[in-house]
């Protein structure tokens, strides 16, 4: 009987020590994934979520930063902002799909897309719908001449999101243009997700 009580206590102590160390390690990194991303995340079949929590947390942070940058530039609508938005999306190999199933990709076409869809008083909302992550990467080392450095891509995430351009006018119904976007985000080792 005593052995059962001690084993139960040991199991509880082990569990709390594990939980505390897990929480502290994520708090130190400052990149704990929230339930929101974990609910829509699909990992490649050989990947264990516990082994990739830091990457998942930093991916979520990178997505939030991208959405914030796009939203700020859309609200600012200065002459070069649409081109800067296109550059942000082009770095992620973005493919935008319109409701008519037209594919838009590349800096020039994405710049035209933003110019055509911006209206005075319009707001921009972005929503992540699904994320697929894999560490089966063919390209292992990439050299960027402009940055003068080599790095290894050790993980890739395919992020499916929606762009909502919402236009509200007094006395008129809300108008919501919705577009689908696929982003390809690469995790650079030892750096964070590409930016």
> What's the pLDDT at 65?
93
Do 115 and 102 lie in one domain? The reply is yes
Question: Does residue 24 sit in the same domain as residue 67?
Answer: no
Same domain membership, residue 124 and residue 63: yes
pLDDT score at 66: 93
Residue 101 confidence (pLDDT) = 92
One domain for residues 92 and 18: no
Is residue 85 in a domain? Answer: yes
Q: Which domain holds residue 43?
A: 31-189
Q: Domains in the chain: how many in total?
A: 2
In a domain, 195, yes or no: no
Predicted TM-score of the model (pTM): 0.73
- 135-156 residues labelled b (16+ CB within 10 A) or e (exposed): beeeeeeeeeeeeeeebebebb
Q: What is the pLDDT of residue 85?
A: 94
- Residues 110, 96: contact at Cβ < 8 Å? yes
Q: Per residue in 147-177, pLDDT tens? A: 666 777 788 899 999 999 998 888 888 889 9
pLDDT less than 70: residues of the chain: 1-33, 35, 138-149, 190-191, 194-195
- Are residues 53 and 103 both part of a single domain? yes
- Kindly state the tokens that stand for 37: 């991303």
Q: What's the DSSP call for residue 94?
A: -
Please tell me whether residues 17 and 99 are part of one structural domain: no
Q: What is the CATH number of the domain that holds 44?
A: 3.10.450
23 plus 42 within the same structural domain: no
Q: What is the pLDDT of residue 29?
A: 42
For position 27, what pLDDT does the model report?
A: 37
Asked whether residue 46 is domain-assigned, the answer is yes
Determine the pLDDT at residue 57. 85
Identify the pLDDT of residue 87: 93
Query: Both 84 and 106 in a single domain?
Result: yes
């Amino acid at each position: 009987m005593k052995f059962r009580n001690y084993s139960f206590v040991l199991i509880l102590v082990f569990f709390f020590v594990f939980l505390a160390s897990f929480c502290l390690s994520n708090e130190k990194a400052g990149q704990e994934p929230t339930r929101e991303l974990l609910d829509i995340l699909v990992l490649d079949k050989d990947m264990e979520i516990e082994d990739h929590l830091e990457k998942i947390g930093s991916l979520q942070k990178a997505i939030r930063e991208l959405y914030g940058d796009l939203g700020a530039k859309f609200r600012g609508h200065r002459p070069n902002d649409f081109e800067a938005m296109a550059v942000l999306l082009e770095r992620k190999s973005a493919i935008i799909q319109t409701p008519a199933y037209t594919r838009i990709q590349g800096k020039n076409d994405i710049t035209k897309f933003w110019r055509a869809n911006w209206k005075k008083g319009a707001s921009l909302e972005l929503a992540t719908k699904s994320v697929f992550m894999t560490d089966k990467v063919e390209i292992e080392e990439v050299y960027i001449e402009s940055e003068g450095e080599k790095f290894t891509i050790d993980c890739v995430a395919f992020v499916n999101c929606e762009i909502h351009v919402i236009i509200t006018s007094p006395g008129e119904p809300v108008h919501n243009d919705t577009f689908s976007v696929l982003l390809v985000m690469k995790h650079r080792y030892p750096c964070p997700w590409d930016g």
